[in-house]
Amino acid sequence: MKYVKILSIVIILSLLMGCSGPGSTTGTPVPQVVSPNPTNNQELPTPAVFVTNPPDPQSGLRVFLEDWKMNDYSAMYAALTQENRNNISLEQFTARYQDSLDALTLKDLVYQIGADQFLADSVQTNFHVEYQTNSFGNFSRDMTATLKLENGKWRVSWDDGLIMPELKDGSVLKVDYNIPARGNIFDRKGKPLSQQTDAIALGVIPSQIYPETEGTLLGLLSTLTGKSTTNIMAQYDDKRGVDWYVPIGEAKLEDVNRFYTALIDLGGVVMSQYNSRFYNQEGIAPQTIGYVSPVPKEQLSQFLRNGYSPAGRFGQAGIEKWGEQYLSGKTGGTLYLIDKDGKVNGTLGQVDAKPASSITLTIDQDLQIKAQKAIAGFRGSIVVIERNSGRVLAIVSSPTYNPNLFDPNNANSAYALGELLGDPETPLLNRAAQGQYPLGSVFKVITFSAALESGTYTPKTPFYCGYDFTELPDRVLHDWTYDHFQDELIKTGEGKTRPSGDLDLTGALMRSCNPYFWHIGLDLYNQGRVSAIADMARGFGLGSPTGIGQIDEAGGTIINPPALLDAVNQAIGQGDVLVTPLQVANFMAAIGNGGTLYRPQIVEKITDANGVDTTAFKPESRGVLPMRPETLAALRAAMLSVIRNKRGTAYQRFTNLTIPVYGKTGTAETNTGIPHAWFAGYTDANNAGLPDIAVAVIAENAGEGSVIAAPIFKRIVEIYFYGQARTPYSWETSIGVTRTPTVPVTDTPSP
């Protein structure tokens, strides 16, 4: 009976252990229990042996280490013993790992599990860890994990030594950072566009301004910030008498020092010094150059792992973002072990800082600044491309913004950044590369080309261009001459604008005759050449990004027209047609250079800290315009007639310009009722000292292309070839003093 009882106990224990959960086939074996021999030496049958297989402790450790590799601290925490979880919160546990691994700049973790040692109530498992870091190289540690079986699962009995043995006593890892100066961004002539320097935030307290010296104050602030005195006064004029701070702008310390004595004697001015990534003129091509800012809190760990300092800055947009790998250099530092009393207890690693490279852009600073002023007061864009290479000489998005405001050390940031971010005019949008617009009549150069390439039309194919287009079965469309006639009738009681009359295809482009191009779109569609115009547009680079690469860009929209009306609308650049100003300047350059579509580029070179150019600009062809040489010649002749023929839509805007210009006006209908004004074209001066350029101009919801955009285009040509503007706008009181003009009515009025 004694032996039966022993056997029964063994069976019961085996069953209970078996109920603890499914075991691993590679689990730890349980010693066999064998009944002792009876005292009377009588042999009994060997009892059945029950062997249980609790989970393999190595599998529990392996899951824990895999979660560590994935930075899944919640899963790691769930694998701890209950005693651990009672003594440390998830937040504390996460911070302990994250702070340590951020200091290490951990990139990856490689581990290898060794042997187990079974104790009375636990298992100790050896494992080897290799820490692969971004800054301090690779190093390894041998460690031992204690695992305890709780509720059928092996759980990790944790302490800080499982992060790294040196941390077992409560020590921490700290990095003493050495941040190299951020690399400068220069214009093509070596003038700094952004640089690391000491700067001054300038502001005024209106109630403290002395009336007798206000003019002097405005003049000095204008000199330092690049703003006009009128604009500066407008910033505080409605706050006269108040005693709070009004931000005005920023200037380099060295520039302020030249006028410091005079400034401190003037009432109302406030100056606050800071060190910053400084952007000259409060932003030269800011949507393209971009800005830097502190690392957001939610991304801090990621940046620390990549070797950044918590005090570092990184590029958030434009060239600053694209060129981060060059401009930031490599942060250096020393990794220290700090004991629980705050004393240095050793050095675990050290890395030298690597100086940053500088970036030189193709942008011409003087042209860029003057182009920004040329379109001030409008929403819109100007793109200037070197015709025969693809260099971007100026890229304007209006309204502009001040990238200096993104530095929280700038005293003006607290007052003005929120207003900038909430501006309904969306100044941060790069309209040149990301703005997508209907192209309107500028698109007719594409329809013109598709017509000639179809073989159905020649430059001399005749057409009568009247007020109305009646070829659609269900509607009548009106030419722009009809719209003008109606507008004149409403304003003066007498309509004077007449239909364009008998034209050939060249004359249709010169007069921008809508009915002729509607007819082409409808005719090609009915011939079964449904995609002829869309294919030509795609061949001009529309419907996909230009490949500029160094800034973000949109691709626009070009589709094959699904119906008659869509084909008719597409033929004049309306309907589903969407383009960017960068695309338009790019294909205009191709028309001017003989048909080569170059990839637009904005980086001239990258220069390392030793002055060696590691990257240099090279023209890159993306292909050629899909047309025969005779088609291209006919197109160029028609675009010249837009400027030179007295009936051309842009003739009056270019009468006193001696630089040869080829171009096309455009007035693109919008949902607001006020059209976008377009003008795009290129020069053909063949000036040995100044390469010819292609230019695209759009002024959003501003009116007619010939009235608004063509004069802006002309100003850019004057600035580029003559060094300064020569012709005032019709809406200017003098050159450079711009205001939003009264928008002419160009849409068809309701009956």
The 8-class DSSP code of residue 56 comes to P
- Residues 722 and 739: their CA atoms lie apart, in Å, by 24
Residues with Cβ within 8 Å of 569's Cβ and at least 6 positions away in sequence, in order, are 521, 561, 575, 576, 577
Angle between the N-to-C axes of helices 444-454 and 514-526, in degrees from 0 to 180, rounded to the nearest 10: 40
Cβ(283)–Cβ(318) below 8 Å: no
Q: CA torsion, points 516, 522, 528, 529, in degrees to nearest 10?
A: 50
Q: What angle do CA 551, 552, 553 make, to 5 degrees?
A: 115
Contacts of 381 (CB under 8 A, 6+ apart): 375, 395, 396, 397, 398, 431, 432, 435, 581, 696, 697, 698
Sign of torsion over alpha carbons 188, 194, 195, 200: positive
Is 101 in contact with 162 (CB distance < 8 Å)? no
The contacts of residue 464 (CB under 8 Å, 6+ apart) are: 501, 502, 503
Q: Which of 441, 449, 500, 641 is catalytic?
A: 441
Using DSSP bridges, classify how beta strands 185-186 and 358-361 pair: parallel, antiparallel or unpaired: parallel
Residues 6+ apart with CB under 8 A from 582: 383, 395, 432, 433, 546, 548, 553, 600, 696
What is the CA angle 301-307-310, rounded to 5?
55
Q: Please state, in angstroms and rounded to a whole number, the distance separating the CA atoms of residues 558 and 569.
A: 12
Could you identify the residue written with the tokens 């021999």? 37
The answer to whether 413 touches 420, Cβ cutoff 8 Å, is: no
Measured at the CA of 444, the angle between CA 439 and CA 445, to 5 degrees, comes to 105
328 among known catalytic residues: no
CA distance from start to end of the chain: 115
Measured between alpha carbons, how far is 279 from 186 in angstroms, rounded to an integer? 11
Other CB atoms within 10 A of residue 76 CB: 23
Which of 279, 351, 388 lies closest to 103 in space, CA to CA?
Answer: 351
What is the arrangement of strands in the sheet containing 661-668, beginning at the earlier edge strand? Answer: 392-398, 380-386, 693-699, 676-683, 661-668
Strands (E), 543-598: 596-598
- CB-based contact 209:268 (threshold 8 Å): yes
CA-CA distance, 500 to 498, in Å (whole number)?
6
The residues with which 464 forms a beta bridge, in sequence order, are 502
With beta carbons less than 8 A apart as the criterion, state whether 735 and 725 touch.
Answer: yes
For residue 750, the surrounding DSSP H or E stretch is none
> What whole-number distance in Å separates Cα of residue 279 and Cα of residue 534?
42
Using DSSP's 3-state secondary structure scheme, residue 13 falls into: helix
CA 472 to each of CA 571, 721, 748: distance values in angstroms, whole numbers, following the listed order: 14, 47, 19
In degrees, rounded to 5, the angle at the alpha carbon of residue 585 between the alpha carbons of residues 580 and 590 is 125
User: What are 454's two structure tokens?
Assistant: 């179809």
CA distance to 97, 399, 582, per residue, from 390 (Å): 50, 25, 11
The whole-angstrom separation of Cα 613 and Cα 607 is: 4
3-state secondary structure string, 213-237?
Answer: HHHHHHHHHHHHHCCCHHHHHHHHH
Where in the sequence numbering do the catalytic residues fall?
Answer: 441
